[in-house]
Structure 1
Amino acid sequence: MPAPAPTNRVRDVIEPVVSGAGLHLEELEVTRVGARTVVSVVLDLHEDETGGLSLDRIADVSRDISAALDDVIPGESTLEVSSPGVSRPLTERRHFARARGRLVTVRLRDGEPVTGRLVSVEGEGPASVLHVVPEPVSIKGRKPVAAPPQDITLDRVRDAHVEVELARLAHGSDAELFGEDLDEDTGTDTDDVDDLDVDDLEPDGSGTDAADPDAGAPAPEES
């Protein structure tokens, strides 16, 4: 049984492909499942961009990654490509930058949690400042009371996450941010929203309609 390719070697091959597609390599994991090598890749937009990573774009870069890995991984392999999704914890500056304009909850090391609209992120490193406008507090029988904006340095953050907004879901604004995933060979699903196998794509790259989660592609066969 051939040994799986080292993660660093796979990274060296994948990073130029991802960078050339104008994307950011968020995570990479290379594991062995039986006789098969599984390469799991998580991609994201760059921090100065907003919105979600489309299924079509994931499909395009997945083909390029698969081709680049042909001579790197011996034996049978599976490539899983996905985007982080709205449930990703915000642990790095770039995560907060990507969440600009979103409703977030930030738990502090030295104070009460803050839930509000993340307006901007300024500075670099632990001293980066998050500008958050808290959500108005509703009191029964009274008008909502707006709290003053807060500037929170990154080193004060214990943990944080994006809040799913039902109004945005109704308009499809949050649906694309739940993360989309494309698996080659096995069709192993890492998300419950949109899944597409590379073998099910039409020649023009259209594939399954990403707007219809129930129109999933047939389960692919093992190679």
Structure 2
Amino acid sequence: MGPTETVRDLAEPVCAADGVELVDVELGGGVLTVTVDREGGLDLDTISGLTRRISRLLDDSDPVPGRYTLEVSTPGLERKLRTPDHFRRAVGELVTVRTVAGTEAGRRLRGPLVAADDDTITIGPDPDGSGGPDAPDRTVRHDQVERARTVFEWGPTPKQGGKTSPSSRKKAAKP
């Protein structure tokens, strides 16, 4: 068992005790990232408490060789998708997927995630793409996915309402 699996095994009960789901554990570049989430989101106090308890467990068992920084955070607006459960939770959201070379559906896919199960994901047509809304859905096996994440799109900025420029007020006041 590698360090990330050991950390997952240690951290999962701590998270569960707070009603928090352990989403992912990553180790890279001297940073151990523990990603957690809960329906309705998490507040800073909960994340701080989890960080302290997980840090104590890691200090006691020392599963990660060398020096590292522990980072406990939520997935955020744009989150990585790695497991079938991650994909199932993201159904209905806009995603980007990079597949392994030679995948029939294409190398880079973007569109709404319309379905996900234990074996495959299905991505609808890209709303901004050249295929248009009538383009076919693309289905990819999980083992063909190199990287995937959700995409957050900012909506249009609301126009300032009710304000007029000084010059337009002068024009309106002249008879």
Greater helix content: 2
Measure the CA separation in 2 of the matches of 1:27 and 1:161.
16
Alignment pair present for 1:156 and 2:144: yes
Which of the residues 26, 29, 54 maps onto 1:65? 54
Measure the CA separation in 2 of the matches of 1:154 and 1:26.
17
Measure the CA separation in 1 of the matches of 2:5 and 2:94.
36
**1:1-223 to 2 correspondence within 5 Å?**
13-21=10-18, 22-24=20-22, 26-27=24-25, 40-45=32-37, 53-66=42-55, 68-69=56-57, 72=60, 79-108=70-99, 109-112=103-106, 113-122=108-117, 124=118, 128-136=119-127, 145-167=133-155
Contact map agreement 1:136 1:146 (CA 8 A) in 2: no
Measure the CA separation in 2 of the matches of 1:60 and 1:148.
47
Contact map agreement 2:96 2:110 (CA 8 A) in 1: yes
What RMSD over aligned residues (CA atoms) do the two structures have, in Å?
Answer: 4.1
Deviation at 1:103, TM superposition (A): 0.6
Deviation at 1:25, TM superposition (A): 5.5
Local SS of the residue matching 1:130: strand
Identity of aligned residues (%): 36
Measure the CA separation in 1 of the matches of 2:140 and 2:42.
28
The one-letter amino acid of 1:24's match is L
Deviation at 1:62, TM superposition (A): 2.7
Deviation at 1:167, TM superposition (A): 1.9
Aligned length: 144
Q: TM-score, normalised by structure 1?
A: 0.47
Structure having greater relative contact order (Cα 8 Å, sep ≥ 6): 1
Contact map agreement 1:114 1:134 (CA 8 A) in 2: no
Structure 1 unaligned residues grouped into runs of 5+: 1-5, 33-38, 171-223
